[in-house]
Homo-oligomer: A and B are copies of this chain.
Amino acid sequence: MEITACHVAKGRPREFDTDSALTAALRVFWTKGYEGASLSDLTEAMGITRPSLYAAFGNKEALFKKTLDLYQREKLDYMGKALDAPTARGVAERLLTGALEMQMSSCDPKGCMGVINSVACGTEAESIRAEVLQRGALVKQGLIDRFERAKTEGDLPGDTDVIGLTAYLTALLQGIALQAGSGTSCTDLKALIDTSLSCWPSK
């Protein structure tokens, strides 16, 4: 049904590229958030009409989740790779510098798509909020597991509070995203990360 790449299209072929349209939608959601992005904003940026959007992506919520997938796949890949660092400190280093590099990219919107959409808004977006929070919880759990492993490997002190350390690092990343989205300069962000790394409790 969904995957029609193997079939030859029977009727009139689609006149726009779904991927580039999705990328355009991502930029809109990224800068304006789910509720702040109207269908007019989206269709204008995507270069398609409303019925085309609904035919191709379902509705606004489904479109958002597809852009969220794209965002995680293309923009948050450094997070997965960070967990492969040999030490806990290396993980933190890759995460912090990865977040910084992402905010330095001049062609992308500032801030974090996840952070923007995890704050409370109207009741209509409650399911959106839940979705974003759930994905964030998965990332957090990955960090907890990684730090737990670091503890057994002797990489972190045996009395380390892994929950606390994870919440601490997560808070830093969230704060970075927030400040990046609020106009904090790149030099200030770099100073933030340098300070964070100089504070990190393991070698």
- Partner-B contacts on A (CB < 8 A): 31-33, 35-36, 38, 111, 115-116, 118-123, 133, 136, 161, 163-165, 167-168, 170-176, 178-179, 181-184, 188-189, 191-192, 194-196, 198-201
Task: Give which listed residue, B31, B120, B174, contacts A120 with CB less than 8 A.
Answer: B31
Closest B residue, CB atoms, query A200: B199
Chain B residues with CB under 8 Å of A191's CB are 161, 163-164, 167
Chain B residues with CB under 8 Å of A178's CB are 115, 118-119, 171, 174-175, 178
**13 A-B Cβ contacts within 8 A?**
A32-B121, A33-B121, A36-B122, A116-B119, A116-B120, A119-B181, A133-B183, A161-B194, A167-B189, A168-B199, A171-B171, A171-B179, A199-B200
Question: Measured between alpha carbons, how far is A118 from B116 in the docked complex, in Å?
Answer: 9
- Give me the 9 closest cross-chain CB pairs, A-B, nearest first: A171-B175, A164-B191, A167-B192, A164-B195, A174-B175, A36-B121, A168-B195, A36-B122, A199-B199
Question: Measured between alpha carbons, how far is A184 from B137 in the docked complex, in Å?
Answer: 10
B35-A122 in contact (CB<8A): yes
A181-B120 in contact (CB<8A): yes
A167-B179 in contact (CB<8A): yes
Question: Measured between alpha carbons, how far is A184 from B133 in the docked complex, in Å?
Answer: 11
A115-B120 in contact (CB<8A): no
Q: 9 new A-B pairs (CB below 8 Å) besides A164-B192, A165-B195, A172-B175?
A: A32-B122, A36-B120, A36-B121, A116-B120, A163-B188, A164-B194, A171-B179, A174-B179, A175-B175
